[in-house]
Amino acid sequence: MVQGLDAGKLSWNYPAWSISIEFVAYLLFPFALPAIWRAPERAKVAIGGLLFALLFILALATKDDFNQWDGPLTLLRCLPEFILGTLLYCAYRAAPVGLFLQSDAAAFFILVTVVLGLHFNAPDLLIIGLFGALVLTAVLNGGSFSKCANVAPLVWLGNISYSLYLIHGFLQFLVGKLLGRFGVQDHAELPSTASLGLTIAMVAICLIAAHLSYNYVEVGCRQYLRKLLDRRKRQRATGKLRTT
């Protein structure tokens, strides 16, 4: 789980660089969470400002290119964003009833702003701030935006997204190798019809594979571990009863 610190050499599945860096964040999380949770509101605002300052430094160091996936610099990308997520949850818990961010107008406005920002290549730092606002607005919303976001297809995509993220790199690699076997070294050489058909097939395979992985690996292993831990708890409780 250290491949993210030198993903160019250590990672055999390139999307896994972020899983590695998130693993480091999870190691720090038990130490950071209590301090942030108990901090007064002004301190939380100050911490948020400091984290954005770190992201601003990253933006300056990378010329606003947040697509940093190789080397220790990725920690400066992930850790501030990880802790900002904790602060977002604190903001969600403390939000008063009737706040403007809870309205459909705020949610759809921020969503449209994000889409326009991505389309017109807005600064990465701005997009990160907008996504944070979108997450907070989405979880606060209880109106039409929430209903639209919780339709079955979107919930399904959310469930399989982790598996989808880790699987798509394998398929890209495999298709690239197969195309090379047929003499296609550059994907741009494919005719438009063939390119469209291949894209549809790859998306379909990724979605099916992610669905199977989610249900039989993610959920299956999680259920197995819970049963295993529950069994051990029962065994320890039985042992204590016998000794008493």
For 191-213, the pLDDT digits (tens) are 899 999 999 999 999 999 999 99
Cα distance from N-terminal residue to C-terminal residue, the chain = 43
Residues 40 and 37: their CA atoms lie apart, in Å, by 8
Buried b (16+ CB within 10 A) or exposed e, 117-146: beeeeeebbebbebebbbbbbbbbbeeebe
CA angle 12, 17, 19 (to 5 degrees): 115
Enumerate residue ranges in the chain where pLDDT < 70. 240-244
Q: Are 128 and 66 spatial neighbours (Cβ–Cβ below 8 Å)?
A: yes
Structure confidence at residue 199 (pLDDT)? 93
Backbone φ and ψ of 186, nearest 5°: -120, 125
Q: Are 70 and 81 spatial neighbours (Cβ–Cβ below 8 Å)?
A: no
DSSP letter assigned to residue 188: G
Q: Are 75 and 24 spatial neighbours (Cβ–Cβ below 8 Å)?
A: yes
Q: Model pTM?
A: 0.80
Total length of the chain: 244
The Cα diameter of the chain in Å comes to: 77
Q: Are 209 and 174 spatial neighbours (Cβ–Cβ below 8 Å)?
A: no
Residues 95 and 138: their CA atoms lie apart, in Å, by 13
Please write the tens of the pLDDT for every residue from 129-162: 999 999 999 999 999 999 999 999 999 999 999 9
Structure confidence at residue 234 (pLDDT)? 83
DSSP letter assigned to residue 184: -
- The sign of the torsion formed by the CA atoms of 71, 77, 78, 79 equals positive
Structure confidence at residue 243 (pLDDT)? 64
Q: Are 167 and 213 spatial neighbours (Cβ–Cβ below 8 Å)?
A: yes
Structure confidence at residue 114 (pLDDT)? 96
